[in-house]
């Protein structure tokens, strides 16, 4: 049984960027019932329902803690979400950022391909929403974004790092999955960096990277 989340509490105020002088710490408000997927990255809450968190009087307190946990663990999994609507999903991802200190000028990211204008439905009814990025093989073929590589490992990436203001959090909801395969694999960039030799780390720290995505530019022009 999922622990009850209906306990009264005052709302947690967003953290002003200029006030953050050290890493945020969890309050311990979230109910127990999770396990670490690996020692390095990932946490799973097998029974927690995000809709219950969103409808709880302690919503802001819970979601602020989740924002910190996602930042610390890299990725967090929630199984079998029953009542998580699209609007609730958008509000949830916005709250993750606002309650952990994102600028007031930042909202929900709009995908550079403007999928809403390409009639890419976010559900079976065909509704469109530019805030929702639909990942599908049909869309990939339509925009000629199919991988040019033999190995899927060439697809390792961090989302939207080429944006002037990259996203701080992202949420992925699986709607249709194949009976086998299609797994999304996660890795920790922090762990990769820590495993480099000290001389190589010093070498990288002296470099500047320029991020771009010419594939998106070409697809947007079609």
Domain boundaries, the chain: 17-220
Long-range contacts of 103-108 (CB under 8 A, 24+ apart): 103/17, 103/165, 106/165
From the list 215, 11, 2, 6, the residue with the least C-alpha distance to 113 is 215
- Read off the pTM: 0.79
8-17 burial, b if ≥16 CB within 10 A, otherwise e?
A: eeeebebbee
Mean pLDDT of 152-170: 80
**In which residue are the tokens 């999955």 written?**
177
Beta bridge partners of 44: 35, 77
Q: In this predicted model, what pLDDT tens digit does every residue of 180-222 receive, in sequence order?
A: 877 788 899 999 999 999 999 999 999 998 888 887 777 666 6
Structure confidence at residue 162 (pLDDT): 85
The pLDDT value recorded for residue 5 is 35
């Amino acid at each position: 049984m999922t622990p009850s989340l209906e306990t009264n509490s005052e709302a947690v105020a967003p953290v002003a960027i200029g006030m953050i002088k050290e890493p945020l710490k969890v309050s311990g408000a979230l109910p127990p019932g999770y396990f670490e997927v690996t020692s390095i990255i990932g946490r799973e809450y097998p029974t927690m329902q995000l809709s219950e968190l969103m409808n709880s009087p302690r919503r802001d307190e819970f979601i602020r803690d989740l924002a910190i946990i996602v930042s610390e663990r890299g990725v967090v999994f929630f199984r079998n979400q029953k009542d998580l609507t699209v609007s609730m999903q958008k509000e949830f991802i916005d709250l993750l950022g606002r309650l952990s200190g994102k600028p007031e000028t930042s909202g929900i990211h709009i995908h550079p391909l403007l999928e809403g204008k390409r009639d890419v439905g976010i559900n079976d009814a065909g509704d469109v929403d530019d805030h929702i990025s639909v990942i599908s093989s049909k869309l990939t073929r339509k925009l000629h974004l199919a991988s040019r590589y033999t190995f899927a490992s060439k697809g390792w990436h961090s989302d939207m790092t080429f944006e002037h203001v990259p996203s701080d959090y992202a949420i992925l909801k699986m709607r249709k999955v194949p009976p086998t395969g299609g797994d999304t694999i996660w890795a920790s960039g922090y762990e990769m960096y820590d495993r480099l030799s000290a001389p190589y780390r010093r070498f990288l720290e002296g470099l500047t990277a320029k991020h771009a995505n010419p594939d998106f530019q070409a697809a947007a022009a079609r």
